[in-house]
Structure 1
């Protein structure tokens, strides 16, 4: 169902046929990087949080980025509190490992972290634990109906950039 809701969402942009599906799991950043034959940093991971009123929202970061608690608090005026697995499914319609900012069960605010802007393309999941799509960060912004770009991450390699574009996707 989740992959189907993402297909329907991406069909609005004529990109449903570009979803990549694999026999092996791509549920973690490392597994996705192996399945896609790219460096882990190019995996766009979608994280689910709660705001002050306990409403869910999503932040998409690069695969090598970690949430910086101070930056997060400054940006969202709340401590970073992630949804539990049941809440993730309830709010997004996607299981952990397949969470993405497309085809959501609820209309959730989506924020994109600046760690993604190092790359010409990144790979978010597509609603299942064995799917992804290659998108430019402009496409990711448009397709996810993102609210804005934010800077809430740390520990990502600022030296890493489009030289990684030489990694290829095995289809």
Structure 2
């Protein structure tokens, strides 16, 4: 069990854990997850961490095939500028390794924003906290668990 899965269990929300054999040579962790699970990439979301105004780390949850708009994220977080966070800072704050960062069960609770594309689906997939492990849950349940909201985050 990962901290992300434990958060979903403790909250008693409906979820399904999916495991697959991770291939370290694959170019994209998220697209690999979609392929290996046989799920449309639009339903698989990646967890990205950005630095807001150089002072605060914030989380963006977006479809794996999409590109994050740092301008949209900065505006959503009411900051001036967002930049991708330093990998060491991400791992220290979340407790997860890159490629396995879950929006759930992070060491430090970071403000989280979810791309509104998630609302099109009954369930979406996000990392469960380790490469090769995904958790499927309703977008609204994810938003509740991370105390986040839905907003346009992609170009």
Please, what TM-score do these two structures have when normalized by structure 1? 0.78
* 1:61 equivalent in structure 2: 62
* 2:128 equivalent in structure 1: 126
CA distance in 2, matches of 1:73, 1:6: 25
CA distance in 2, matches of 1:114, 1:42: 12
CA distance in 2, matches of 1:57, 1:69: 11
Structure 2: runs of 5 or more not aligned: none
Q: Does the residue aligned with 2:106 lie in a helix, a strand or coil? A: coil
Residue 53 (structure 1) shift: 4.7
- Larger strand share, 1 or 2: 2
CA distance in 2, matches of 1:109, 1:59: 9
Aligned pairs for 1:1-171 (under 5 A) are: 4-14=2-12, 18-25=16-23, 28-76=29-77, 77-146=79-148, 148-154=149-155
Residue 17 (structure 1) shift: 7.6
Residue 6 (structure 1) shift: 1.8
Compared with structure 1, are the counterparts of its residues 74 and 107 closer, same or farther at alpha carbon in structure 2 (3 Å cutoff)?
closer
Residue 149 (structure 1) shift: 1.6
CA distance in 2, matches of 1:145, 1:72: 16
Please, what TM-score do these two structures have when normalized by structure 2? 0.85
* 1:165 equivalent in structure 2: none
Q: Does the residue aligned with 1:138 lie in a helix, a strand or coil? A: helix
CA distance in 2, matches of 1:63, 1:20: 16
CA distance in 2, matches of 1:4, 1:33: 20
Larger CA deviation: 8-17 vs 97-106: 8-17
Residue 15 (structure 1) shift: 5.4
Larger Rg over CA atoms: 1
Larger CA deviation: 51-60 vs 102-111: 51-60
Conserved? CA contact 2:17–2:135, under 8 Å: yes
- C-alpha distance after superposition, 1:84-111 (max 9, x if no partner): 2211110111111111111111021111
How many aligned positions are there?
Answer: 151
Q: Does the residue aligned with 1:18 lie in a helix, a strand or coil? A: strand
